[in-house]
Chain A
């Protein structure tokens, strides 16, 4: 027991992440129990719904794909100590432009059309976030508030564009025309929604890890994140790098929207994102802001989402509690002192101190 306590006291980020997730699940379980549901039954059903058979696992990976992208986008900005809360807006911007390029019929082959559609989404997301970076560097406007405001602007703008300029003919709901075959992301298994987007997502995570560990620019961005003044003294152009960081972070967010449009819905549907952009914050927190950890953490939350969707079909338990779990993870990971206290480390310390005092006397 004592050894366990010492282990917890010195816990590193991985242990903190696992403990935080466990605490968040426990708390939501208690809430479920208070509302009259059986939490063991519920989480059992979630596990089966997320990993029970091939369909479940593929659904988990499909749900994980946008979360890996948005988690990576948030993580990327964090490396420069920037907080990008605008991933939701960047995702919609990317989705919009991709959906427009996706329906363009110039007789392009897939080898041109698909990369073009993806690239357009990446660029749109990147420019949207890069603008925030520019405003921060040039005018000192706080990026946390600016990105939240841009989220609202982006969702309104996309709703306007879809409703007034790109509405699918004869459609009852607000959505664009279906993208052409040549722009669709190939599916990995027939009849399942999982596409090669998951491979792109994993590849992007590895690429970002490589970028920060092996390239000069990556190193410089981390230097800015750790100590902007020191980095500038060393001759690093912090402003430019911060704009670049926001651009890439937004580009990854745009890619999340682009792959959703080309892979899952095959068109842009208003309100398609249940808040993927904000989920990225929790994904990144659970991954301790490690780009490769984002893959695993995205799958964990993807599983939670896939499992709770099955749960929602069979019982009346709302899927919203997954969002509560995510928010709690963000708070717990940010508050190691709280987690230690909840695990009774302080109590142990006091007991030990008491013993020592007794020994001294």
Chain B
């Protein structure tokens, strides 16, 4: 029994800590999709957030300013995604992919220009505040999830956001400011994804590493769909993926080739994508403009 808890506690702790960035990003994704904008750019928002968080923490020496910078960096990418898809009517898949490419290239380039290194940034101060063995950001995450649920389903703003996402044309006809609502949606999305990125770089690693998010933004997209665009369900879906990541990390030291174990989260994502999300339909107005 003691033996079992000795295994279980670290794995469960790791499960929670690996789920946190996914939950932040996926809840952001829920805001974005509910406002009618596909969340394929999540990877870029997380990546930029992880990077700007380290830049902020490096130059100020203050981890909280770093986290704010991470949120701002993510929000900036969210704004870009919003501009491209709302103002310039770009295909949302392509703009997401383009931003993801840009974020990877730009963070790698800036890392070299700022610190002259290719692989990772210098070490920065980390959050390092734990309550009950879990990072303080875990509790922030719980608040974010509950607030998101209240905002989306219990407030007038949430109703308007969902109306815009379902039918932008009708929303525009009844006098809703469709553009402003969509921009709010992607900005919240970017801010939260940036916070998820900041968690990766400031709480999980204490530095920025090239391609730090490593596809987590895409996994967050899958979680968003699997959770049927509901912030509470996001938590449970993300825990499944966090568990895979935790098991993967745990198994690293067990003599199984690490390259095989590293595949685990991606294979689970593929399985969920194939068998888990077939009959889930997104809001009807995703990708549409009020002029359609």
Interface size on B, residues (CB 8 A): 43
B263 cross-chain contacts in A, Cβ below 8 A: 152-153, 156-157
Whole-angstrom distance between the alpha carbons of A256 and B83 in the complex?
35
B214 cross-chain contacts in A, Cβ below 8 A: 152
B120 cross-chain contacts in A, Cβ below 8 A: none
Q: Which of B10-18, B58-66, B92-100, B148-156 contacts A (4 or more CB under 8 A)?
A: B92-100
B7 cross-chain contacts in A, Cβ below 8 A: none
- In this complex, what residue of A is CB-closest to B262? A156
Whole-angstrom distance between the alpha carbons of A327 and B96 in the complex?
11
Q: Are A149 and B93 in contact (CB under 8 A)?
A: no
A150 cross-chain contacts in B, Cβ below 8 A: 266, 270
Please pick, from A153, A327, A341, the residue contacting B105 in the complex, using a CB distance under 8 A: A327
Interface size on A, residues (CB 8 A): 43
Interface residue B291 (Cβ < 8 Å from any Cβ of A) = no
Interface residue A324 (Cβ < 8 Å from any Cβ of B) = yes
Q: Shortest beta-carbon distance, A140 to chain B, in Å?
A: 5
Q: Shortest beta-carbon distance, B18 to chain A, in Å?
A: 16
Interface residue B90 (Cβ < 8 Å from any Cβ of A) = yes
Q: Are A85 and B88 in contact (CB under 8 A)?
A: no
Please pick, from A149, A326, A334, the residue contacting B218 in the complex, using a CB distance under 8 A: A149
B270 cross-chain contacts in A, Cβ below 8 A: 135, 141, 146, 149-150, 153
* A323 in contact with B273 given A145-B221, A148-B218, A330-B101 (CB within 8 Å): no
Q: Are A337 and B88 in contact (CB under 8 A)?
A: yes
- In this complex, what residue of B is CB-closest to A282? B101
* A323 in contact with B109 given A149-B269, A157-B259, A334-B90 (CB within 8 Å): yes
B201-245 interface code vs A (CB 8 A; 1 in, 0 out): 000000000000011001001100000000000000000000000
Interface residue A4 (Cβ < 8 Å from any Cβ of B) = no
Q: Shortest beta-carbon distance, B183 to chain A, in Å?
A: 16
Please pick, from B101, B108, B215, the residue contacting A152 in the complex, using a CB distance under 8 A: B215
* A330 in contact with B94 given A144-B40, A156-B259 (CB within 8 Å): yes
A160 cross-chain contacts in B, Cβ below 8 A: 257, 259-260
- In this complex, what residue of B is CB-closest to A328? B102
Q: Are A331 and B102 in contact (CB under 8 A)?
A: yes
B102 cross-chain contacts in A, Cβ below 8 A: 324, 327-328, 331
A residues 108-146 in Cβ contact with B at 8 Å: 135, 139-142, 144-146
A316 cross-chain contacts in B, Cβ below 8 A: 116
A residues 22-63 in Cβ contact with B at 8 Å: 31, 35
A168-182 interface code vs B (CB 8 A; 1 in, 0 out): 000000000000000
B residues 90-144 in Cβ contact with A at 8 Å: 90-91, 93-95, 97-99, 101-102, 104-106, 108-109, 112-113, 116, 118
A-B pairs, top 8 by smallest CB distance, nearest first, are A323-B105, A160-B259, A327-B102, A327-B101, A331-B98, A320-B109, A318-B112, A330-B98
Further contacts, 13 of them, CB under 8 A, given A152-B266, A318-B109: A139-B274, A142-B273, A144-B97, A145-B221, A146-B274, A149-B269, A150-B266, A151-B215, A152-B262, A157-B260, A160-B259, A318-B118, A331-B98
Interface residues of B (CB under 8 A from A): 40, 84, 87-91, 93-95, 97-99, 101-102, 104-106, 108-109, 112-113, 116, 118, 214-215, 218, 221-222, 257, 259-260, 262-263, 266-267, 269-270, 273-275, 277-278
